[in-house]
Structure 1
Amino acid sequence: MSTGSSTGPSPGEPAPAAAPTALRRLVPDELLDRAPGCPFDPAPGLAARRGDGPVQRLELRGGATAYLVTGFDEAREVLADARFSSDRLRYRDATQMQPHEVAAAEGCPVAPAEIGERTDGMFVFMDPPEHTRIRRMLQGQFTVRRMRDLEERVVEIAVEHIEAMRAAGNTADLVPAYALPLPSLVICELLGVDYADRATFQENTAIALNSTSTDEERARAGGELYGYIARLVAAKREAPADDLPSGLLQDTERPLTDAQLIDVALVLLGAGHETTANMLALGTYALLSHPDQLAALRNDPALVDDAVEELLRYLSIIQLGVTRVATETVRVGDVDVPAGATVIVGTPETNRDPRRLADPDRLDLGRERVPHLAFGHGVHQCLGQQLARVEMRVGFTELVRRLPGLRLDTPAAQVPLRNDMLIFGVHALPVAWDAAPASP
């Protein structure tokens, strides 16, 4: 999961709506912007660093120095080491600092900010033990039964939307017609959003997470989402149901406050919706751009599980990667990362580490499975990864099965890329398929 603000919202305040990442201000564009001609590969500047070592110094525009980790083993080491903090209230992330803040911080000892116990629910920006407490509660809600029940709904949702596309003709923009609503409706199921409210909930989610929305539109949609979830939590306290918020409310040993429950729901909404939606759209784009791989999946639907893992490895949709702050000097590989330094785990490159696999830049659905870091590693590994896999497995299977002759309906170079967002993907994906023959 990688959503939320750099400093975290104050308790009881709505989480900020998604906006172009702060990395954009400080990290050179060539490390962020993927090339239109090869949108599935890491940004050219990131790929060009391959061979320069698994841990590299990176000078940021704001004057600070960060450390970029591109080696798979070294990245796992960082993500599993408690000396690298995720807490953005206590430790300063250089990718979020303005130049004057960098200058003011020079020479200052590394010490956590005195903020007391965290009272918000933005657990992705916490360290143990605060993170451990909330994550353990959430893990208890991602049960085998709930995932099985949700899989049945994923199939229903996928089929409903594909049949709606077919009924409207033989062309569609796959992003709003399929990739966005599928995970959004699954999140509605998970959170227990009433059917009558789902259209408005989906609309506000789409606006809040859309980079083309104005600041005013995002603020309005984000505020309405926050207000709705606040009312949802209050309703679940009064009348618990079989959903995640109700389940969390049953934990009475050290219950979460309403503000924490709202934060948790917003984290799950942002992380579970945007990442899967972009994997569905970008993954389809990748398959359509590799007809041999699409044909392999069409000819052998049982290949879909391997296809999902290979697409997760190959695409790595977290733009540059995730960040951590060293709380003391730590040696990573053959580099000493000093206390207070920000480390950027370059996920697109770690998943293509040539030391681990041959021909890492090739999409190969038949490749023997290799570990990847698409869902992170360590205590912050994505909680909803199994649900995300279900959504992708069903999403790709039903598209291939129900839309014969599926193909791009625009030149590949004209597909608009989400280079301006933290989560990479496409803003639109016009597709066409073979129309069903007319009845005699």
Structure 2
Amino acid sequence: MKRTPGCPFDPPPELAKLPPMARLDYPDGHAGWLATGYEAARAVLSDPRFSNRQELKHSAVRMTSQFGQDQPAPPGRFVTTDPPVHTRYRRLLTGQFTVRRMRLLEPRIEQITADHLDAMVAAGPPVDLVRAYALPIPSLVICELLGVPYEDHDFFQEQTARLVAIDEEGVPELAALVGYLGELVRRKRVEPGDDLISGLTGDLDDEELTNFALILLVAGHETTANMLGLGVFALLEHPEQRALFSGASTNALTGGSASEGGGSVEGGGEGAGAGAVESAVEELMRWLSILHAGAPNRVALEDVEVAGELVRKGETVALSLPAINRDPSVFADPGELRLDRAEARRHLGFGHGVHQCLGQQLARIEMRIGYRRLFERFPGLRLAVPASDVPLKERSGVYGVESLPVTW
């Protein structure tokens, strides 16, 4: 469904008219469901009677590129498996993505961000914020974490963009990424480094580790890059909210360091600074909901009642995150962007249940630093083109801006 012209941040209006569980005809002829209600989505994502196995599910959009949906997930591609297979793989990665470990990456993320801001200053306005800032920062961070050579970023960024495109088969792109990462894994076995891939060589075979790396590399840069680009666009179009963010940013920088739990601030009085920045990021996640197509879906393993509807065994339920995260029964005035929204953290942008996003703490840190430092360095940042001329990723499973020309 198309968005309303001139409203790049709002979901298609038809979604708001649907019940929490609506019948949906899938492109392959399957008669399934679309969940638009918040409680319905949480129920589906947390109920073990719903499976995430790719060979059992149907796609609500023509996106066959990611995993060849009629076949079981190959070893290591854990995001489309169920326990106990998923549990084994997940445990291997959980220790790599703890809040504490992600906090240890903050100084390096700060440095990477500062370097790119310096480069923007040196280049002078105008710049494409996507190419100069939003895309390279998470790409470089995930490359250093995994041990992927950053000099290959043009290759894997291009392949990833094609891989998540709607209506494209994507088989060549998937094969190219698997081949590239498979060779990297084999090199790591001979010459290991201080990185995540090298650290898992003793636990996984080459195929498993290659597919681990594929999931982490693609998810680790594509989603955060789109959140940074689209989020800045949203803030530039909502100056009153941007002013609130800028004020929160200043308080956060002077208020002390946030605790690991993400709420309090040491030595700084009421602790509103860091908490305000965190709330701003959560509200942007909720309001933008960039996984607008090809988002989570599940298949019923037996008959299950959800939101008063009977989902039969074998029926797929697709989840519309843009609708779910604007459910008026959970979020007051859900169409309004409010960076101080208390309930924003309830959003399902990172999923829910056993498949909740492993890298969510890393993404949060990158967004907090990315938004904060950008507006600190460029308080006069503004669009260099009319808002209507900003190109949008409407044919991608991950929504965002193709480019964002800005000046200051």
TM-score normalised per structure 2: 0.85
Q: Report the AA paired with residue 335 of structure 1.
A: E
Within-5 A mapping of 1:329-344: 329-344=303-318
Cα deviation, 1:96-155, whole Å, max 9, x if unaligned, reads 789xxxxxxxxxxxxxx997xx65211111111111110110112224553133221211
Is the counterpart of residue 328 in structure 1 residue 302 in structure 2? yes
Is the counterpart of residue 204 in structure 1 residue 177 in structure 2? no
* Residue number in structure 2 paired with 1:232: 184
Contact map agreement 1:141 1:248 (CA 8 A) in 2: no
Say which of 273, 278, 284 aligns to 1:311.
Answer: 284
Aligned-partner SS, 2:34: strand
Contact map agreement 2:57 2:297 (CA 8 A) in 1: no
* Residue number in structure 2 paired with 1:185: 140
Question: Bigger CA drift: 152-161 or 373-382?
Answer: 152-161
Contact map agreement 1:162 1:178 (CA 8 A) in 2: yes
Contact map agreement 1:211 1:420 (CA 8 A) in 2: no
Q: Report the AA paired with residue 60 of structure 1.
A: Y
Contact map agreement 1:150 1:189 (CA 8 A) in 2: no
Contact map agreement 1:280 1:395 (CA 8 A) in 2: yes
Within-5 A mapping of 1:105-144: 120-144=75-99
CA 415–75 in structure 1, closer or farther in 2 if over 3 Å, else same: same
Distance 2:158 2:196 in 1: 24
Question: Bigger CA drift: 39-48 or 153-162?
Answer: 39-48
Say which of 228, 239, 247 aligns to 2:199.
Answer: 247
Aligned-partner SS, 1:141: helix
After TM superposition, the runs of 4+ consecutive aligned structure 1 residues lying more than 6 A away are 212-216, 218-221
* Residue number in structure 1 paired with 2:211: 263
Within-5 A mapping of 1:346-385: 346-370=320-344, 371-385=346-360
Q: Report the AA paired with residue 304 of structure 1.
A: V
Q: Report the AA paired with residue 178 of structure 1.
A: Y
* Residue number in structure 1 paired with 2:5: 36
Say which of 106, 123, 130 aligns to 1:175.
Answer: 130
Contact map agreement 2:51 2:301 (CA 8 A) in 1: yes
Is the counterpart of residue 288 in structure 1 residue 236 in structure 2? yes
Contact map agreement 1:326 1:342 (CA 8 A) in 2: yes
Aligned-partner SS, 1:209: helix
Within-5 A mapping of 1:142-153: 142-144=97-99, 146-153=101-108
Is the counterpart of residue 390 in structure 1 residue 365 in structure 2? yes
Distance 2:369 2:186 in 1: 33
Cα deviation, 1:349-392, whole Å, max 9, x if unaligned, reads 11111111211100001111341100000011000000000010
Aligned-partner SS, 2:24: strand
* Residue number in structure 2 paired with 1:24: none
Q: Report the AA paired with residue 231 of structure 1.
A: E
Distance 1:213 1:92 in 2: 18
CA 128–234 in structure 1, closer or farther in 2 if over 3 Å, else same: same
Is the counterpart of residue 75 in structure 1 residue 27 in structure 2? no
Distance 2:198 2:338 in 1: 42
TM-score normalised per structure 1: 0.79
- Give the superposed CA RMSD: 2.5
Aligned-partner SS, 1:58: strand
Q: Report the AA paired with residue 8 of structure 2.
A: P
Distance 2:98 2:46 in 1: 24
Distance 1:136 1:146 in 2: 15
Contact map agreement 2:21 2:34 (CA 8 A) in 1: yes
Contact map agreement 1:287 1:294 (CA 8 A) in 2: yes
Deviation at 1:220?
A: 7.0
Q: Report the AA paired with residue 316 of structure 1.
A: S
CA 63–212 in structure 1, closer or farther in 2 if over 3 Å, else same: closer
Contact map agreement 1:208 1:219 (CA 8 A) in 2: no
Aligned-partner SS, 2:97: coil
Within-5 A mapping of 1:96-107: none
Aligned-partner SS, 2:402: coil
Aligned-partner SS, 2:305: strand
Cα deviation, 1:41-78, whole Å, max 9, x if unaligned, reads 112222332xxx21111233543322111111111110
- Specify every segment of 5 or more residues in structure 2 that has no aligned partner in the other structure, as ranges: 64-69, 250-272
Contact map agreement 2:27 2:61 (CA 8 A) in 1: no
* Residue number in structure 2 paired with 1:426: 401
* Residue number in structure 1 paired with 2:389: 414
- Specify every segment of 5 or more residues in structure 1 that has no aligned partner in the other structure, as ranges: 1-29, 99-112, 434-440
Deviation at 1:94?
A: 5.0
Distance 2:125 2:180 in 1: 36
